[in-house]
């Protein structure tokens, strides 16, 4: 495969290969003082970010550097995008300078797919609008498998602002591919039209779902995209759909709590839950580097073309 544009690009064997490769990379680098492999020496990876990011941009940069690739970080702010340069011309410019892979985040759903038709190198989707964020789903599956030892039959509750969440879309698809059982929990106004065709159950009742969940994945309330007609009050949202210490007490002994970040502490997740022993939030960030190394290695590995 040349690109990673959405979770559906990966069948079960592909996704398992990414997770196994990330685990091998973790093993190979464990205990090493210099956490670097020579695999992508001579290759160039461009991080092309039209939207803000902390975790994804930095972990892709670190992943590429740990594989010995050259890395260029492009931020739309401060570039010729402000003079009206298009995504296509920007990408062709970067490719003319020798990029082998473009890691792209864009506010427009489908932008990475368009990009993939214009460039010869690989394109990796680092989040496009409300559409998909496939490497987030891969690092989430990696974290679940690492913590619980399996994905087959694991019951995952994905809770909150599903409507605006590319993380939810990628996770539902990938977790289903890997044999997990997903339940989406949200108020009806924060579920997308057509959710009935997704490979997931739907519930409006968080308290009913929690005792049966092996994993609770809280989603960020995307306040910047909210409209008062479907998000009446933060306090009411938090009361019905926030994960606080009382609700966490309803979870089974081995259940874990996840969040892709950035979090709204006190809104969808209480600080004491985010900082608890059940929380894998910091672990997810660390796993993101290994999983993104695996993705870049599998897309670009081998001699320069």
Give the residues lining the site for ligand CP (CB under 6 A).
53-56, 127, 133, 136, 260-262
Active site residue 83: yes
Q: Which is nearer to ligand CP, 45 or 181 (CB)?
A: 45
For residue 46, the SS3 value is strand
Least Å from the CB of residue 102 to ligand CP:
16
Catalytic residue among 3, 66, 133, 292: 133
Active site residue 32: no
Q: Which is nearer to ligand CP, 127 or 187 (CB)?
A: 127
Q: How far is CA 102 from CA 58, 114, 261, 274, in A?
A: 14, 12, 23, 33
Q: Which is nearer to ligand CP, 179 or 262 (CB)?
A: 262
Strand-pair category, 44-49 with 256-258 = unpaired
Catalytic residue among 35, 55, 114, 265: 55
Q: Which is nearer to ligand CP, 58 or 148 (CB)?
A: 58
Annotated binding-site positions for L-aspartate? 83, 166, 220
Active site residue 145: no
Nearest by Cα to 267 from 223, 302, 207: 223
Least Å from the CB of residue 235 to ligand CP:
25
Annotated binding-site positions for carbamoyl phosphate? 55-56, 105, 133, 136, 261-262
Sheet holding 122-128, edge to edge: 70-75, 44-49, 101-106, 122-128
DSSP letter for each residue of 179-213: T-EEEEE--GGGS-TTGGGSSSEEES-HHHHGGG-
| Side-chain half-sphere CA neighbours of 240 within 13 A | 17
Least Å from the CB of residue 127 to ligand CP:
6
Least Å from the CB of residue 140 to ligand CP:
10
Token pair recorded at residue 285: 């960030």
Q: Which residues are catalytic?
A: 55-56, 83, 105, 133
């Amino acid at each position: 495969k040349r690109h990673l544009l959405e979770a559906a690009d990966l069948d079960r064997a592909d996704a398992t290969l990414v997770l196994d490769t990330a685990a091998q990379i973790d093993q190979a680098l464990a205990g090493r003082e210099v956490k670097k492999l020579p695999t992508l020496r001579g290759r160039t990876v461009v991080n092309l970010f039209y939207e803000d990011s902390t975790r994804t941009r930095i972990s892709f940069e670190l992943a590429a550097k740990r594989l010995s690739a050259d890395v260029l970080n492009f931020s739309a702010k401060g570039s010729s995008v402000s003079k009206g340069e298009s995504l296509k011309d920007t990408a062709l410019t970067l490719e003319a300078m020798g990029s082998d892979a473009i890691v792209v985040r864009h506010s427009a759903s489908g932008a990475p797919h368009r990009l993939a038709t214009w460039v010869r190198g690989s394109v990796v989707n680092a989040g496009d609008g409300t559409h998909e964020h496939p490497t987030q789903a891969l690092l989430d599956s990696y974290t679940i498998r690492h913590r619980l030892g399996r994905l087959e039959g694991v019951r995952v509750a994905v809770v909150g602002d599903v409507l605006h969440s590319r993380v939810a879309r990628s996770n539902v698809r990938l977790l289903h591919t890997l044999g997990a059982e997903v339940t989406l929990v949200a108020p009806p106004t924060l579920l997308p039209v057509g959710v009935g065709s997704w490979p997931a159950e739907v519930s409006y009742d968080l308290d009913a779902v929690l005792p049966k969940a092996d994993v609770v994945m809280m989603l960020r309330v995307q306040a910047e995209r909210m409209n008062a007609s479907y998000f009446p009050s933060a306090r009411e949202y938090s009361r019905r759909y926030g994960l606080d210490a009382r609700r966490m007490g309803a979870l089974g002994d081995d259940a874990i709590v996840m969040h892709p970040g950035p979090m709204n502490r006190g809104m969808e997740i209480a600080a004491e839950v985010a900082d608890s022993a059940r929380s894998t939030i910091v672990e997810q960030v660390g796993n993101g580097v290994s999983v993104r190394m695996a993705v870049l290695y599998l897309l670009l590995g081998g001699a320069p073309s």
